[in-house]
Amino acid sequence: MTFGHFDDNNREYVITNPKTPYPWINYMGTGDFFSILSNTGGGYSFYKDARLRRITRIRYNNVPVDDGGKYFYINDGGKIWSPGWKPVKTELDTYECRHGLGYSTIKGQLNQLEAELLYFVPLDFNGEVIRVKLRNKSAETKSVKLHSFAEWALWDALDDTTNFQRNFNTGEVEVEDSCIYHKTEYRERRDHYAFYSVNAKISGFDTDRETFLGIYNGFDNPEMVTNGKCGNSIAHGWSPIASHFIEMELNAGEEKEFVFMLGYVENEKDEKFSAPNIINKTNAHRMINQFKTSEQVDDALQNLMGFYSDLLGKLNISSGDEKLDRMVNIWNQYQCMVTYFFSRSTSYFESGIGRGMGFRDSNQDIIGMVHMNPEWARQRIIDLASTQLSDGSAYHQYQPLTKRGNHEIGGNFNDDPLWLILSVSAYIKETGDWTLLDALAPFDNQGEDATIFEHIKRSFYHVVNNLGPHNLPLIGRADWNDCLNLNCFSDKPGESFQTTNNQIGRTAESVMIAGMFILYGEEFVRICELTDRLNESIKAQIQIEKMRAAIDSSGWDGDWFLRAYDFYGNKVGSKENEEGKIFIESQGFCVMAGVGIEDGRAEKALKSVEEKLSTPYGIVLLNPAYTKYHLNLGEITTYPPGYKENAGIFCHNNPWIIIAETMLGHNDKAFDYYKRITPAYLEIISELHKTEPYVYSQMIAGKDAAKPGEAKNSWLTGTAAWNFFAVSQFILGIKPDYEGLTIDPHLPSEMKELNVTRKFRGNTYHIKVQKAGGSEQNCFVNGQKWEGPLPCRSKGEIYNVLVTLSK
């Protein structure tokens, strides 16, 4: 069953049934101001940091789901409805939501009155623009009343949901003309306020939630809307809101437009007030004047569309498979930009309160977006390096508002440092900009600066300096799998598995980190070689070979790679285990690192993955699922079988197997695995899959779950970057390298031809890949046979590239 369809020409997903299996959302914003919007108008906004600068309120895990947003209520002669169906839930004659790239439209019609809403955050603007169009399609004049609604959050999202004894007393607002200002705590410690305006004269307003809704009413039945009036209420504590009330006559065939704006303003300390206790509104007035007309709105929307056209224009394919094309050309790249902005911090599954920007997460996100905006990638790398500690370890997360490490979480996740080598190498391969290595960043945002090269060197040697009894890397609190907590031993309810270390020792080891060390250690070696640091490269290569030997002697279980050794030195992910005999992570990383390819172990490991881990909906993380709690393994054994890390399909790691399969020449198997988790191929089972059919989800329920194939945690997942990396660089084979762009496709047998346009280092490459038969692969550039990376010494060139494959 489907709830809409793709519109590839407009790069939109069109939802035609508001009752989606779960709210299907979109993100808006490209700078500091961001909004999340569901297909029925739910969602919230924030400035820079979803925890520390929450502008409007949302209630997670609410009943009913997705209540609260920037709503509009229409009273058409006593018939009350909302354009997005919610919150009123009056059945509409027609409904349509279009989620585009950084904008959304919602259109509803009832009794020949059509309402069309446009939501977006303009480029370089600290506010959201909402345009409302009302069209009278009837032959008679209509008397229409329009109420807007937004509920202010009291800035700190955690405090906003907990500290009611204070918060019920602090809410403050001002109203001037058609603008409602939220100024809670502004007269004391804050230098910022928010506002909600409309470019029309209003009949009235409300700023007190109880007055607008009625204390026992929900969003679906506001007392003021039902009564067809407003209270002109001024909030004093309790729960401040912003609601405009507009009365109008719409003649037959007439259309009226209104431009609403939700904005954020910061003032200098000595410019906070224009009069005693009256906020300085100069910056708000300037922002409002930028969007007084619909023409100004149209221009800003076109600029936003042009921004995304430029980003997505760096890679475009035509494969003959429309689902593959729309994912690679549009939705996968778009999702990669969203994960760059938010890491894993704020979505409809992440509250924006408990997590900041992840060190591991954000470094991985760069491999999915560096080709679109390398300047942003470079700055993110420097920001991340600045949270690294002097011994090479790193804070696991940092807050986007402060860019400082999150002390509540801390560090000691021993895979973290190696991801910095991945992002640095990906940036240099894409740009050829070696100056990044000389850029300066402090450790822990304090003290003397060090070069980025010094940062990645310390990342490399952090592993070397933290080896266990089998000469494999110590796991610390956890590696990539945050729920494999081999030093935690938690038996107290409420303890955090990620921050609790009840066992102190240097015994628990990770085979996955060992594979990572070889894979990204080789990148470190190449960087050293290409920058004439030959002694560094030789010393590093020695450590890499030692790690290969450690995996050979202590990391192989006979048919697959072990996952780890626990605190007691017992094997994890072994035939010797009753549960959790095989894990996906070490199979992926060891094979990607080249371990076992020459002697057949890699082939065995991937065969074991197919036999024991693959399902119709993707590859599960482990098998058999854990059915009881293991104190020595941690959180992974607390989930019911088939969910999350306990044998769920954790989509993030499936691309590692996809890449590994291409390295062994299993092209059809790689593409088969790709399609199993890629949302465009799952649209037809949306009622089961539940989450959006245009973006990846973190987790799909595994074969042991009650509902195999049901997804959760959409949008903010490393799956976006990794599956883009896998499909673009390994299946399609368009791979940046230090010396230029290389072409090495691993196309499935069903794909006979591929056309690619790739913009790379200032040049444009039109690449055609054909299966021509014969005994070898050949490459021609502008008609001349070519070997090695494609030419890229100059800029502004256009190259026509033909690659012929033997099969």
Instruction: Decide if pLDDT at 28 tops 90.
Output: yes
Higher-pLDDT residue of 365 and 398 is 365
pLDDT digits (tens, 9 = 90+) for 471-488: 999 999 999 999 999 999
pLDDT digits (tens, 9 = 90+) for 741-750: 999 999 999 9
pLDDT at 496: 83
Residue recorded with tokens 């444009």: 764
pLDDT at 720: 98
Q: Which of 422, 600, 649 is nearest to 517 (CA)?
A: 422
Q: Which of 238, 181, 171, 187 is nearest to 205 (CA)?
A: 181
Retrieve residue 631's tokens: 């104190």
Angstrom distance (rounded) from CA 552 to CA 10: 52
pLDDT digits (tens, 9 = 90+) for 670-692: 999 999 999 999 999 999 999 99
pLDDT at 504: 78
Contacts of 585 (CB under 8 A, 6+ apart): 479, 480, 481, 512, 563, 621, 653, 656
Contacts of 268 (CB under 8 A, 6+ apart): 191
pLDDT at 495: 86
The mean pLDDT value of the chain amounts to 96
Instruction: Decide if pLDDT at 51 tops 80.
Output: yes
Q: How many CB atoms lie within 10 A of CB 389?
A: 17
pLDDT at 806: 82
pLDDT at 407: 66
pLDDT digits (tens, 9 = 90+) for 534-577: 999 999 999 999 999 999 999 999 999 999 999 999 999 999 99
User: What share of the chain in percent tops pLDDT 70?
Assistant: 100
Q: How many CB atoms lie within 10 A of CB 460?
A: 26
Instruction: Decide if pLDDT at 354 tops 80.
Output: no
DSSP β-ladder status, 753-760 and 740-743 = unpaired
Retrieve residue 134's tokens: 């009302």
| CA distances for 349 relative to 56, 368, 412, 774, angstroms | 17, 22, 25, 51
- Which residues are registered as beta bridge partners of 571? 565
pLDDT at 194: 98
User: What share of the chain in percent tops pLDDT 90?
Assistant: 92
pLDDT band at 715 (very low <50, low <70, confident <90, very high): very high
- Which residues are registered as beta bridge partners of 442? 449
pLDDT at 774: 67
Classify the phi-psi angles of 116: left when phi > 0, otherwise alpha if psi is within -120 to 50, otherwise beta.
Answer: beta
In the sheet where 509-510 sits, what is the strand order? 509-510, 564-565, 571-572
- Contact 772/804 with Cβ under 8 angstroms? yes
DSSP β-ladder status, 357-358 and 397-398 = antiparallel
pLDDT at 507: 96
pLDDT digits (tens, 9 = 90+) for 502-546: 777 799 999 999 999 999 999 999 999 999 999 999 999 999 999
Q: Which of 682, 498, 522 is nearest to 594 (CA)?
A: 522
For the four alpha carbons of 709, 680, 622 and 662, in that order, the dihedral sign comes to positive
- Contact 633/484 with Cβ under 8 angstroms? yes
* Mean pLDDT on 157-172: 94
**Active-site residue (options: 160, 365, 416, 482):** 482
pLDDT at 533: 98
Judge if pTM exceeds 0.95. yes
Whether 482 is a known active-site residue: answer yes
pLDDT at 357: 86
> How would you class 185 by CB atoms within 10 Å of its CB: exposed for 0-12, middle for 13-18, buried for 19 or more?
middle
